[in-house]
A and B are shown apart, each in its own frame.
Chain A
Amino acid sequence: MSTEGTVLSDVRPAHSHRRSAGFANTLRGIYIVWYRDLLRYWRDRVRAVVGLAQPLLFLVVFGAGLGSSLGGSFGGGANGGASLSYAQFVYPGVVGMAVLFSAIFGAMSIVWDREFGFLKEILVAPIDRSAVAIGKALGGATQAMIQGVILLVLAPVIGVTLDLGTVLLLLPFLFILAFALSAMGVALASRMKSMQGFQIVMNFLMMPMFFLSGSLFPLTGVPDWMAVLGRLDPVTYGMDPIRRIVLGATLPPDAVNALGLTIFDQVLPIGVEALILLGFGAAMLAIGVANFRRRD
């Protein structure tokens, strides 16, 4: 094939499409960074589904194993009537776990991109670098939310009733949890130079955050220190509304309420929990943006 005749036709001045409004520029940057993350997620969908193996393992091992030794009326005892198996109790926690894990691993793609050079391509682009941090946080959050939603198909097997309204109500809460954790991952990954370093830090954070969040056991009747730590754990404010919404159609309202997270014996409304988590996510995102804007 001869390319001798190829003439790059466009000779309009290179400046013409550079001076678009800064805000529109940033939105465009956020969109394309988010879009690339989803494109990669879709291309790697087999691996994404395999990533659900760990939450499923927790569900099976804890649900069946721990469940049988705890007996059949978990969590509902206080209210008499409604009874709840441990598998039913732990199921929303496992959905939250899938969100937690994939949000954090999603942020690892930043370290990955740095190691493989692609991050440079993004960082030299004529967009505000806040777009990179925000796009990455939203991309990771979207993937993590999808991972959580996939696990919802197991509800009938566990004996949890889900209706469309429940699922629709659940989506924003899944997303807020995913966003907050993804933003935390971005804040950390923005300073990390090596994959190993990121993995070590993440393992130190992820497991305690998961265990203390009330996902495997309720934060009532635990030692005081754990009750305090659990309430300092941002994941707690994501797990609790997820559990209350997922079990909403299975249990009577006051039984659901009895499961709710309390602060000074007051059950927190799920909206307040969402706001706490959003605040945490916004703070983390601000750190991530500041880190990305730094130039040596």
Chain B
Amino acid sequence: MERVAVLTGNYAVAYAVKLCRPQVIAAYPITPQTSIVEKIAEFVEKGELKAKYVRVESEHSAMAAAIGASAIGARVFTATSSQGLLYMYEAVWSAAGARLPIVMAVVTRAIFPPWSIWTDHSDLLAQRDTGWIIAMAEDNQEVFDMIIQAYRIAEDERVLLPVMVGLDAFSLSHTAAPVSMLSQDEVDEFLPPRKAFSFLLEVKNPITMGNVAFPDHYMEFRYSIQRAMERAKEVIREVEEEFYEISGRRYGGLVEEYRCSDADVILVLMGAWAGDAKECVDALRERGLNVGVLRIRFVRPFPREEVRRALLGKRAVIVVDRDISFGGAGVLFTEVSSALQQSNITVRGYIAGLGGRDVTARDFSVMVERVYADLESGNKESRIEWYGVKEVV
């Protein structure tokens, strides 16, 4: 029988994590992630989750402890946000470089200064070169589903890379919505215990991990991560199909296409506001504008093939970034433009919603209408614009 619970995004993470039976949790509090690690601490203290909980003194140590535990063969979980993620940045690289299948939830939040606790994707996207698989959910149900799938993807022998699952601050983390749950038996069958590999730290088979690699060897370690990322694309699709078997839910693999096939203009974005973008698309279609949404579910590995398939041949693409690479453009804009190279599609980038500024379906309509107006007037230039910025001195 299907069991539906009303959960915040953070609790959706916590309940999914519990079903995955991690053996070691290492975490440090930061707003708005805190209720994830609080809930998990409660599970552990009540004996509902048999795990060791290392209450570390910093995020740098949270990831370090996760690395240590994972190198022994334990299934590990941690979660963080914003400054916490930046503070652990060095260790984030370390986890991927050591090929440890750690899963981390990242509640996306703006970066200081000035202080802001609201959503912004800059923290998550700043991790894109680290070797982690990076996923981003749209709603609480997907948060729940992604966490469970994340362990399967991370621990797959073809992958062996850590996975971070992003969810927007407050709009998901602290907003309750119905989440269709899975039973422990269902998850146990889908996600068996972590398999032991030959490169764990164990007394009976001593190995040295991470010693100096001279220029003769270093590149091959990096190349192996890139190859694992490429293989991860297939694994992500496979795992989702298997998950569909037990849950009846699937999202489309590395991207979700919403009314894309017959569209001539497509909005590309990721995260919770994709819901508003879809609402905007429905409204515009009532008015005869053929618009669609391509939602990026995985930033790494970047779904280059899916993006090309969905976007090539369209009149225009609008990439909406909740982030900015200063002096460059939005990260998704750059990625999508790169995937579309040698096509002559107009790609318009909007930088919007930074630090949690509200962006509604109406705002997406304005962006779409502007692009249509430009196309009508023959302006096909690809460029970025800041959306809704007040006058700045």
Q: Do A and B come from one complex?
A: no
* B residues adjacent to A (C-beta < 8 A): none
